[in-house]
Amino acid sequence: MRASMILLAALLASAYPGAVVAGQAAAASPADAAVEAPASATAGVTAGADAVRRERDSAYLAFRREFGAKRYVEALPLAVRVVALTEQAGANAELPSALNNLAATHFQLGDYAAAEKTYVEALRLVEESQGATSRRLVAPLRGLANTYVAGGRKEAAIPLFERAVAIVRRSDGLFDPGQVALLEPLTEAYVSQGRWLDAEQAHQYQFRLAERQHGNTTRLIPALTRLAKWYEETGRYTQARRTWARQYGIASDRKAGDLAGAVNALRGMARTYKLEYQYGPEIIEDDANRAGDLSFRMDVTERDPFGRRVQSMSSGDFRLDPQGREFLEAALAMFEKHDTPAPLATATLLVELGDWTLLSDRAARAQPFYERAWPLLPRDENTAEKLRNPLLYPGQLLYRAPNSARRHASLPPDMVIERAAVAEFTVTSEGRVRDARIVEGTASEAQRNAFLSALSRAVYRPRFVDGKPVETQNVRLRQTFRVLKTDEAAQETPEETDSAATGAAAPSSPAEEPASRAPG
3-state SS of 208-228 is HHHHHHHCCCHHHHHHHHHHH
Domain presence at residue 53: yes
Q: Find the range with the poorest average confidence among 21-30, 338-347, 409-418.
A: 21-30
In angstroms, the Cα distances linking 240 to 270, 313, 456 are 11, 21, 30
Q: What is the pLDDT of residues 359-370, one digit of tens each?
A: 987 888 999 999
Q: What is the pLDDT of residues 102-156, one digit of tens each?
A: 999 999 999 999 999 999 999 999 999 999 999 999 999 999 999 999 999 999 9
Q: What is the CATH number of the domain that holds 42?
A: 1.25.40.10
pTM, rounded to two decimals: 0.72
CA–CA distance, 18 with 50 (Å, rounded to integer): 22
Which pLDDT does position 53 carry in this prediction?
86
Which pLDDT does position 291 carry in this prediction?
35
Of 193, 213, 245, which residue constitutes the final position of a domain?
193
Provide the 3-class DSSP secondary structure of residue 296.
coil
- pLDDT above 60 (res 509): no
Of 137, 159, 193, which residue constitutes the final position of a domain?
193
Q: CB within 8 A of 49, min separation 6: which ones?
A: 89, 90
Cα within 13 Å of Cα(10), Cβ side = 6
Domain presence at residue 400: yes
Which pLDDT does position 253 carry in this prediction?
82
pLDDT band at 283 (very low <50, low <70, confident <90, very high): low
Which pLDDT does position 464 carry in this prediction?
94
Q: What is the mean pLDDT of the chain?
A: 80
Domain presence at residue 214: no
Domain presence at residue 244: no
Three-state SS across 70-83?
Answer: CCHHHHHHHHHHHH
DSSP 254: S
Which pLDDT does position 362 carry in this prediction?
81
Domain presence at residue 272: no
Which pLDDT does position 10 carry in this prediction?
36
C-beta of residue 473 within 8 angstroms of C-beta of residue 507: no
Q: Which is higher by pLDDT, 319 or 230? A: 230
Provide the 3-class DSSP secondary structure of residue 67.
helix
Q: What is the pLDDT of residues 494-505, one digit of tens each?
A: 444 443 333 333
Which pLDDT does position 15 carry in this prediction?
36
Q: What is the CATH number of the domain that holds 457?
A: 3.30.2420.10
CA–CA distance, 406 with 272 (Å, rounded to integer): 20
Domain presence at residue 41: yes
Return the amino acid letter for 304.
D
Q: Find the range with the poorest average confidence among 159-168, 240-249, 271-280, 509-518.
A: 509-518
Q: Which domain holds residue 40?
A: 2-193
Of 154, 171, 193, which residue constitutes the final position of a domain?
193
CA–CA distance, 20 with 146 (Å, rounded to integer): 12
Domain presence at residue 223: no
Which pLDDT does position 60 carry in this prediction?
94
- DSSP letter string, 134-180: -GGGHHHHHHHHHHHHHTT-HHHHHHHHHHHHHHHHHHH-TT-GGGH
